[in-house]
Structure 1
Amino acid sequence: MRVLLTGGSGFIAAHVLDILLDHGHSVVTTVRSQQKAKAIADAHTSYGKDKLDFAIVEDIAQENAFDEAVKSDPPFEAVIHTASPFHFNVTDVQKQLLDPAIIGTTGILKSVKKSAPSVKKVVITSSFASIINPFKGTWPVHTYSEADWNPITSEQAVENPAAGYRASKTFAERAAWDFLEKEKPNFTISTMCPPLVLGPIVHYLNSLDGLNTSNQRIRDIMQGKAKDEIPETGTFIWVDVRDLALCHVLSIEKEEAANKRFFITAGYFSNKEIAQVVGKEYPQYKDQLPTEKTPGGDYPKDGVYKIDNSRVKDVLGIKFRSFEESIKDTVKSLQAVGA
């Protein structure tokens, strides 16, 4: 299958790219610069231009940003859209978070409809942020599934960057489903809704400074920043990036994934458990790590929400990696870039 992958240098997309190539697909990936394209090309020298090529899209929040990128010969049959801003160092929530996420998502759908009639499937990286109800806390009586939507309003969205991030994911995903309903394009949509994404980084793209937000907690624990007190876990569910990437690829390969949301999580974890796994697998960090007596980082006393991830298992046939394997492989990948 000929596939357009957006945001190819991102943490999740780098793994999606590897799986697409491994499954024999032909890929064009969008990147923001020639330098990023070169880094990816240099790491995949066994693939010719017919299997791996690039399109430069400098700013996904510009109108018509993807108009040229969606045109291809041979034409694309599927699009996997992972590009979206995710960081909390923002000063203008509307301009830096909401607009790029919403315009980026609707923009690519419009471009595909207008200029790539051969595309039959579009997969969009959304987030548990579009499922969770942030106003309910840990909500132990509730079971989250694809049926849930974050009820955040546009007024609440601009109150702070964390609310802005959650809202950007919610509004962008809603905009995608609205587009499907109103525009009736000749492609289907599948959305991926992962919580915290842990797992190994692709070293040629990432440094310890440019680490994805979810993995920063593992780096900080390795570096001794949780020795006296373990930070609060915040979101108590996770998925390994390789399993999430595989879900993206399976969603273009399996007919049954069409027009479905997927809540992609392997289960529960706490920051305290990260420290325990690091200590067990890598005894050399023992002196930097918290001990059993160190406060913080545990599950809340009154419990935490339940999860229903049966759709991912039933429709995509995913078997999730274990937490231990994910943390162990993440640490190894961080050591490779100097942790």
Structure 2
Amino acid sequence: MTRVLLTGGSGFIAAHTLDVLLKHGHSVVTTVRTQAKADKIKAAYPNYGKDKLDFAIVPDIAQPTAFDRAVISDPPFEVVLHTASPFHFNVTDVQKDLLDPAIIGTTGILKSIKKSAPSVKRVVITSSFAAIINPSKGFWPEHTYSEEDWNPITREGAEENAMQGYRASKTFAEKAAWEFLEKDEPNFTITTINPPMVFGPIIHNLESLENMNTSNQRILWAAQGKFKDEIPATGIHIWVDVRDVAEAHVAAFEKSDAANKRFFTLAGYFSNKEITQIIRKHFPQYKVLPTNSTPGGDYPEGGVDALYKFNNKRSIDILGLKYRTLEETVVDSIKSFQAVGL
């Protein structure tokens, strides 16, 4: 059993990570913004006492000292999993809504750990393919993306739109973490998990389908009939199941070889058209789905050969991931949406 601090416990990835942590027998304190969120998570795990599942209230991760108290625990923490970071495009101020929570949240927790939690030996941070991709290259079929790649985005580029702001937030936050490791020489290691589009069933407390996490929205909207006349462009054509991302976070501290490494965690290629076809195959009750002749949402001309390649070997070899299929993920996602009223 390991004593773990998990930040952002009510988030999409964090909720699944909490599930894996508890199943692996670890003792977890998770941070949430409000007591109400803590109460909802606690209600989902009625059989776990405070020794196994407890909470720390951190209202605003963009405050430099936000985690100062949360990192102090009895018994002391050995591991910190930092998943708390905004992922949405409902942005009025890129700096305030995206950059500050991501960058200050990351550097703040690292400083708090170094200052007040000397027992922590492993830190795992949720990063993203957003910190790897070079958007200016487009589909870039001659290139193979791996952990060696970095998004070249600049501070000026971050202001272009919400998508660029999000990509910048993940890139700058992850770079800040590696710089901290190099310059501050803490007595803990750092590992980052870099997934692309993350799909999968919801197990966090969702009050309504309107509050669906950003990455899952396209599966929901397809089932709701929003793609009936035209399927939107897929955008990023690589994906991963949230349950595999959660497993990656836990394996990243359970396996010593994962220390001080990035992990590009992805299952493979997908298109929005494929998602609609899977829904139609398994859920014929949704009559407003696109047909095979509905325009849009497909791979570029040339199929996957016209797309960038990827290398996810490190995540398989070191973390031991066995990636789920797109079909399993979409089916399980829809079933979980049905429980909230789809």
For 2:316, the equivalent position in structure 1 comes to 313
Aligned: 1:336 with 2:336? no
The AA in structure 2 aligned to 1:326 is T
The verdict on how the C-alpha distance between 1:241 and 1:164 changes in structure 2, with shifts beyond 3 A counting, is: same
Alignment of 1:185-264 (within 5 A): 185-202=186-203, 204-205=205-206, 207-264=208-265
After TM superposition, give the deviation of residue 63 of structure 1 in Å. Answer: 1.5
Q: Distance in 1 between matches of 2:159 and 2:337?
A: 34
Aligned partners of 2:198 and 2:215 also within 8 Å: yes
For 1:288, the equivalent position in structure 2 comes to 288
The AA in structure 2 aligned to 1:114 is K
Runs of 4+ more than 3 Å apart: none
For 1:271, the equivalent position in structure 2 comes to 272
The AA in structure 2 aligned to 1:338 is G
For 1:297, the equivalent position in structure 2 comes to 297
Q: Distance in 1 between matches of 2:90 and 2:155?
A: 20
Kindly, what percent of the aligned residue pairs are identical? 71
Alignment of 1:1-339 (within 5 A): 1-202=2-203, 204-205=205-206, 207-285=208-286, 287-302=287-302, 303-339=306-342
Q: Distance in 1 between matches of 2:249 and 2:206?
A: 20
Higher alpha-carbon deviation: 297-306 or 50-59? 297-306
After TM superposition, give the deviation of residue 205 of structure 1 in Å. Answer: 3.8
Aligned partners of 1:141 and 1:305 also within 8 Å: yes
Taking structure 2 as the reference length, what is the TM-score of the superposition?
A: 0.98
Aligned partners of 1:190 and 1:259 also within 8 Å: yes
The AA in structure 2 aligned to 1:186 is N
Q: Distance in 2 between matches of 1:204 and 1:99?
A: 26
Q: Distance in 1 between matches of 2:207 and 2:100?
A: 25
Aligned partners of 2:6 and 2:31 also within 8 Å: yes
- For residues 290-328 of structure 1, the C-alpha deviation after alignment (integer angstroms, 9 at most, x for no partner) is 001000000011511001000000001111011100000
After TM superposition, give the deviation of residue 206 of structure 1 in Å. Answer: 5.2
**Unpaired runs of at least 5, structure 1:** none
Aligned partners of 1:12 and 1:82 also within 8 Å: yes
The verdict on how the C-alpha distance between 1:187 and 1:203 changes in structure 2, with shifts beyond 3 A counting, is: closer
After TM superposition, give the deviation of residue 203 of structure 1 in Å. Answer: 5.2
Q: Distance in 1 between matches of 2:167 and 2:108?
A: 20
After TM superposition, give the deviation of residue 45 of structure 1 in Å. Answer: 0.6
Aligned partners of 1:203 and 1:333 also within 8 Å: no
Q: Distance in 2 between matches of 1:246 and 1:53?
A: 21
SS state at 2:211 partner: coil
The AA in structure 1 aligned to 2:313 is S
Q: How many residues align?
A: 338
After TM superposition, give the deviation of residue 72 of structure 1 in Å. Answer: 0.1
After TM superposition, give the deviation of residue 100 of structure 1 in Å. Answer: 1.1
Q: Distance in 2 between matches of 1:16 and 1:273?
A: 27
SS state at 2:285 partner: helix
Q: Distance in 2 between matches of 1:39 and 1:194?
A: 27
- For residues 35-62 of structure 1, the C-alpha deviation after alignment (integer angstroms, 9 at most, x for no partner) is 0000000110100000000000000000
Taking structure 1 as the reference length, what is the TM-score of the superposition?
A: 0.99
Aligned partners of 2:107 and 2:173 also within 8 Å: yes
Q: Distance in 1 between matches of 2:160 and 2:94?
A: 8
Aligned partners of 1:7 and 1:81 also within 8 Å: yes
Q: Distance in 2 between matches of 1:288 and 1:203?
A: 27
After TM superposition, give the deviation of residue 168 of structure 1 in Å. Answer: 0.3
- For residues 151-204 of structure 1, the C-alpha deviation after alignment (integer angstroms, 9 at most, x for no partner) is 001111112111100000000000000000000000000000000000000153
The AA in structure 2 aligned to 1:118 is S
After TM superposition, give the deviation of residue 207 of structure 1 in Å. Answer: 2.8
Q: Distance in 2 between matches of 1:18 and 1:314?
A: 23
Aligned partners of 2:206 and 2:340 also within 8 Å: no
The verdict on how the C-alpha distance between 1:51 and 1:164 changes in structure 2, with shifts beyond 3 A counting, is: same
Q: In angstroms, what is the RMSD of aligned CA positions? A: 0.7
